[in-house]
């Protein structure tokens, strides 16, 4: 994967890393980006694999086993690269070869089962829309209406629109793999076969020609590897400097026509010697040149702007535009684990103030008893996440909501957690209400011994913290934990009558008492203002402020 890394202001403002994969008929492309504030993104890595998924598929209607194997290998590589780059989400889109193959769905199911990547198949007009979206966000159109042309392995997409998006788009079966297999019967291409191909392109464009020509486009943009390759060759053949990158370079229709004539008159050996021409494309570029040249002539295009953004960038932009809320959450919660937890809580219609207060109090209790339980920062984090999610089971039903919370957390697709951590968070939340963890409970009993002990300790903290906001009024502002011998005294600083919280405390403290081997008493009273600096020991008071627990 080609990666770009530089230290600048953007390095510290990215929200989410996303990978987008285009499962094309000729090649697979992946781009990994960092989303930025305001709906933009910065590319941090790209990769291309000439998979030739459409080879023999487009003419026979079925993906060969060898093509599927190449595709799986490429996607397996892409998944490793995406994960190593820190991508939190992988978007994938399948195009012509897969959507036309009778076993296309079987291939996508294999991809999902083996790689846990779930590509979606897009229709031709949707593909045209996504490509137009990429052009709209990457080429300076100066307010002009634009015609966009993309030549893939299986199909050609044509789109016309203005500054708000595509207004008219078509997809036709004129891709380079398809036309090469059908019309290129000799090397060099014979005049007869060239004429057959030109006539086929003209006939295929026929139903769209009038509408496209009358659409009022003021400029034309060409995307895809084939058009970029033909454009670069056209500039080189015209004696002009070939810019690097090619993005936004302009090439005239006359230059493309001249490149077409040269390509048609050469054999593969000569084409392989052409400077800058990718050898993996040398066998199919002849048909590609004939197709693009004919399209430009048919639609009256005099100049083509080259664009390196295409379907994969369109996939990203479409996702970003459609998920503004989740990306705004990413800005508020840069940490993927916290963001994932809050997302699940929101989907479950949580009582946010109560959940955050319980998390505050649970962490305060955790810190106040640190020398007794000996758990570190990882345990502290799991406790906070479990506290934020402890009541999500209400979304299913109040009755047995603690068990429903376990189910939702276990199946809530929490990102950034190991399977064991998800299981622990779910179990901690499951025991926030009643009963104690027992090995006969299948979910708890399946945990390793050390993790069972940790769950019991953390669930004890959560249960008592939940009790201290039993009224859901957030009246406990902070608390002081005093430990002496076999007893702990929890003194709460309150803003109103805590009768309900204090009444329930003795029963709700039993799990934590058992886990720590102490007797716990809870009482209300003012907290010393200067006590927050007290050093935590078993025999000294520790006053905690809950600010740390509320910061995103």
What is the chain's pLDDT, residue by residue, as a tens digit (552 residues)? 544 433 333 333 446 889 999 999 999 999 999 887 666 677 888 999 999 998 888 888 899 999 999 999 999 999 999 999 989 899 999 999 999 999 999 999 999 999 999 999 999 999 999 999 999 888 888 788 999 999 999 999 999 999 888 999 999 999 999 999 999 999 999 999 999 999 999 999 999 999 999 999 999 999 999 999 999 999 999 999 888 888 888 999 999 999 999 999 999 999 999 988 888 899 999 999 999 999 999 999 999 999 998 999 999 989 888 877 666 666 666 666 887 788 888 888 889 999 999 999 999 999 999 999 999 999 999 999 999 999 999 888 888 888 899 999 998 878 768 788 999 999 999 999 888 899 899 999 999 999 999 999 999 999 999 999 998 999 999 998 998 888 999 999 999 888 888 888 899 999 999 999 999 999 887 544 443 323 233 333 333 333 233 222
CATH of the domain at 207: 3.30.420.150
Q: Are residues 190 and 205 in the same domain?
A: yes
Q: Are residues 319 and 338 in the same domain?
A: no
Residue 117: CB atoms within 10 Å: 19
Q: Are residues 303 and 391 in the same domain?
A: no
132 within domain boundaries: no
CA nearest neighbour of 215 among 170, 157, 172, 161: 161
129 within domain boundaries: no
Question: What is the Cα–Cα distance from 155 to 412, expressed in whole angstroms?
Answer: 39
Q: Are residues 416 and 536 in the same domain?
A: yes
Sequence-ordered alpha helix ranges (H) in 85-175: 96-100, 104-115, 124-136
User: Angle 368-372-377 (CA atoms, 0-180°, nearest 5)?
Assistant: 65
Q: Are residues 267 and 363 in the same domain?
A: no
21 within domain boundaries: yes
CATH of the domain at 365: 1.10.3210.10
Range of the domain at 6: 1-122+313-323
Q: Are residues 477 and 459 in the same domain?
A: yes
**pLDDT reported for residue 532:** 34
User: Residue 116: left if φ>0, alpha if ψ -120 to 50, beta else—which one?
Assistant: left
CATH of the domain at 85: 3.30.420.40
328 within domain boundaries: no
127 within domain boundaries: no
134 within domain boundaries: no
Question: What is the Cα–Cα distance from 408 to 418, expressed in whole angstroms?
Answer: 16
Question: What is the Cα–Cα distance from 525 to 223, expressed in whole angstroms?
Answer: 70
**Into how many domains does the chain fold?**
3
466 within domain boundaries: yes
Q: Are residues 519 and 446 in the same domain?
A: yes
Locate 240 and state its tokens: 């002009």
Residue 316 contacts residue 93 (beta carbons within 8 Å): no
- Beta strand 17-23 pairing with 89-94: parallel
Residue 72 contacts residue 115 (beta carbons within 8 Å): yes
Residue 239 CA neighbour count, 13 Å, CB half: 0
131 within domain boundaries: no
Q: Are residues 283 and 340 in the same domain?
A: no
Q: Are residues 66 and 162 in the same domain?
A: no
Q: Are residues 458 and 534 in the same domain?
A: yes
pTM across the whole model: 0.66
- Final residue of a domain: which of 297, 323, 349? 323
């Amino acid at each position: 994967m080609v990666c770009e890394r530089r230290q600048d202001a953007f390095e510290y403002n990215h929200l989410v890393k996303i990978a987008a994969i285009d499962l094309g008929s000729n090649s697979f492309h992946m781009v990994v980006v960092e989303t930025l504030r305001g709906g933009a993104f910065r590319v941090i890595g790209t990769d291309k694999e000439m998979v030739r998924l459409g080879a023999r598929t487009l003419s026979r209607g079925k993906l060969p086993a060898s093509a599927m194997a190449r595709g799986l290998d490429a996607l397996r590589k892409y998944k490793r690269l995406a994960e190593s780059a820190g991508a939190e989400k992988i978007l994938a889109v399948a195009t012509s070869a897969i959507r036309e193959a009778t076993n296309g769905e079987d291939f996508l199911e294999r991809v999902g089962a083996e790689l846990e990547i779930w590509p979606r198949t897009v229709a031709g007009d949707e593909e045209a829309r996504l490509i137009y979206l990429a052009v709209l966000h990457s080429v300076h159109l100066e307010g002009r209406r634009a015609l966009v042309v993309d030549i893939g392995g299986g199909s050609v997409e044509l789109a016309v629109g203005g500054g708000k998006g595509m207004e008219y788009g078509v997809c036709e079966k004129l891709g380079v793999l398809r036309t090469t297999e059908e019309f290129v019967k000799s090397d060099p291409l014979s005049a007869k076969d060239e004429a057959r191909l030109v006539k086929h392109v003209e006939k295929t464009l026929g139903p769209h020609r009038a509408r496209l020509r009358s659409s009022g486009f003021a400029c034309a943009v060409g995307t895809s590897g084939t058009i970029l390759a033909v454009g670069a060759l056209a500039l080189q053949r015209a004696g002009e400097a070939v810019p690097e990158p090619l993005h936004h370079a302009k090439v005239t229709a006359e230059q493309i026509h001249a490149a077409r004539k040269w390509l048609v008159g050469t054999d593969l050996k000569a084409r392989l010697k052409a400077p800058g021409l990718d050898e993996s494309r040398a066998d199919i570029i002849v048909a590609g040149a004939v197709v693009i040249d004919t399209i430009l002539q048919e639609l009256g295009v005099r100049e083509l702007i080259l664009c390196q953004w295409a379907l994969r960038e369109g996939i990203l932009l479409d996702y970003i535009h459609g998920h503004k809320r989740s990306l705004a959450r990413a800005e508020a919660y840069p940490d993927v684990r916290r963001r994932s937890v809050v997302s699940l809580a929101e989907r479950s219609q949580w009582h946010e103030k109560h959940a955050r207060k319980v998390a505050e109090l649970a962490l305060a209790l955790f810190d106040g008893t640190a020398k007794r339980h000996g758990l570190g920062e990882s345990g502290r984090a799991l406790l906070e996440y479990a506290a934020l999610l402890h009541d999500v089971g209400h979304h299913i039903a109040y009755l047995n909501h603690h068990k429903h919370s376990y189910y939702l957390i276990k199946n809530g697709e929490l990102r950034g957690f190991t399977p064991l951590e998800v299981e622990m968070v779910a179990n901690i939340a499951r025991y926030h209400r009643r009963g104690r963890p027992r090995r006969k409970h299948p979910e708890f009993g399946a945990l390793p011994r050390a993790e069972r002990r940790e769950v019991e300790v953390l669930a004890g903290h959560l249960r008592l913290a939940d009790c201290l906001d039993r009224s859901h009024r957030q009246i406990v502002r902070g608390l002081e934990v005093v430990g002496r011998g076999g007893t702990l005294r929890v003194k709460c600083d309150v803003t109103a009558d805590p009768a309900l919280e204090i009444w329930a405390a003795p029963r709700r403290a039993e799990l934590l008492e058992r886990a720590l081997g102490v007797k716990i008493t809870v009482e209300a009273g003012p907290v010393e203002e200067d006590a927050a600096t007290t050093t935590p020991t078993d025999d000294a008071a520790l006053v905690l402020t809950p600010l740390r627990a509320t910061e995103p």
